[in-house]
Amino acid sequence: MHAPYRTPRPLVSITLLLAACGAPPATIAPSPSGVQAPASASVAPIASSSVETAPRPPQTPKRPIATTYHGVTVVDDYRWLEDGADPGVKAWSDAENAYTRKVLDALPDRPAIRERVRALLTSASGVHFSMQERRGALFSLRDKPPKQQPYLVTLASADDATSERAVVDPNVLDASGATAIDWFSPSDDGKLVAVSLSRGGSESGDVHVYEVATGAERSADVITHANGGTAGGSLVWRKDGKGFWYTRYPRAGERPEADLDFYQQVYFHALGTAEKD
């Protein structure tokens, strides 16, 4: 039921990331077909003077936070970085991003690598994955560049691509490409599908229920904070399709702020009723 979350498609290759860590970039040379490809893996070592003059990354302060779990106290020096609303965290993140840009933008081969990665990620190829069958209909996530995020489709069969029909497309719901499907669960009769949607790579997903035939959302049946980055989430429909069991993380006020991504509990939701507290 679970599908891998994808942030908007990156344009930085592993080669660039290695280069940012100090590894020398490979030279890009044209192949006979005209496609840019890495040249020989043999590269000259970085001169010691280059290492000495390389920009240094910003320092990350240690701010110990102690939390006791079942009688065991765990101290985390960097847990303070988890609060994205903290001005100090924002300043640290901006400094890290500026440092990264300074390193990557200075790489001579970066433009060629960037364009090659862009060409690969926006190619016309596409794949189906996370397939589930319900009453003769095949539900699947569809990854089709240049769309930023996979979207949910149905097919009459895996052998009939012409029968494909989009049910929930996060690229349409959010043109910025920041909304993604965490997972989906069709009802047993295939008439409804529950979909967890999260934004900005947060993996903090809310469940939305859609009618498969029309793609229309049932606005009364939204479950908040059903998926999380620590343990994901899960949902199972009742046999008659009139409700489902689901996992949910605590809401603000139910537990301390630090515990809101832990302590999942199982609830039941009857369609058309208010979300359980």
DSSP states of 152-212 = EEEES-TT-GGG-EEEE-HHHH-TTS-EEEEEEEE-TTSSEEEEEEEETT---EEEEEEET
Tell which wins on pLDDT, 115 or 40. Answer: 115
Contact in structure between 186 and 192 (CB atoms under 8 Å): yes
User: Once rounded to an integer, what is the mean pLDDT over residues 24-41?
Assistant: 41
Q: Is 229 helix (H, G, I), strand (E, B) or coil?
A: coil
> How much is the pLDDT for 42?
43
Q: What is the pLDDT of residues 139-182, one digit of tens each?
A: 999 999 889 999 999 999 988 989 999 999 999 999 999 999 99
> How much is the pLDDT for 115?
93
Residue 97, burial from CB neighbour count under 10 angstroms (0-12, 13-18, 19+): exposed
> How much is the pLDDT for 35?
40
Tell which wins on pLDDT, 43 or 56. Answer: 56
Tell which wins on pLDDT, 94 or 54. Answer: 94
| Residue 62: half-sphere exposure toward Cβ, Cα within 13 Å | 5
- C-alpha 102/C-alpha 89 separation (Å) is 20
- The answer to whether the predicted template modeling score (pTM) of the entire model surpasses 0.75 is no
> How much is the pLDDT for 52?
55
> How much is the pLDDT for 237?
98
- Paired residues of 255 in beta bridges: 252
What backbone phi and psi angles, to 5 degrees, belong to 138?
Answer: -105, 120
Q: What is the pLDDT of residues 224-273, one digit of tens each?
A: 999 999 999 999 999 999 999 999 999 889 999 888 889 999 999 999 99
> How much is the pLDDT for 16?
42
Mean pLDDT over the full length of the chain: 84
Where residue 61 falls among pLDDT bands split at 50, 70, 90? very high
Q: What is the DSSP string of 59-123?
A: P-----EEEEETTEEEEETTGGGG-TT-HHHHHHHHHHHHHHHHHHHT-TTHHHHHHHHHHHHTS
Q: Percentage of residues in the chain with pLDDT exceeding 70?
A: 80
Helix H or strand E encompassing 13: none
Q: What is the pLDDT of residues 194-216, one digit of tens each?
A: 999 999 999 999 999 999 999 99
- C-alpha 25/C-alpha 23 separation (Å) is 6
Q: Is 15 helix (H, G, I), strand (E, B) or coil?
A: helix
Give CA separation, 7 vs 15, 178, 181, 203, in Å. 19, 7, 11, 10
What backbone phi and psi angles, to 5 degrees, belong to 268?
Answer: -120, 135
> How much is the pLDDT for 121?
78
If you search the block for the tokens 């302590």, which residue do you land on?
263
- Single-letter residue type at 248: R
Residue 1, burial from CB neighbour count under 10 angstroms (0-12, 13-18, 19+): middle
Which of 153, 190, 255, 270 shows the shortest CA–CA distance to 223?
270
Which of 6, 3, 1, 2 shows the shortest CA–CA distance to 145?
6
* Total count of residues recorded for the chain: 277
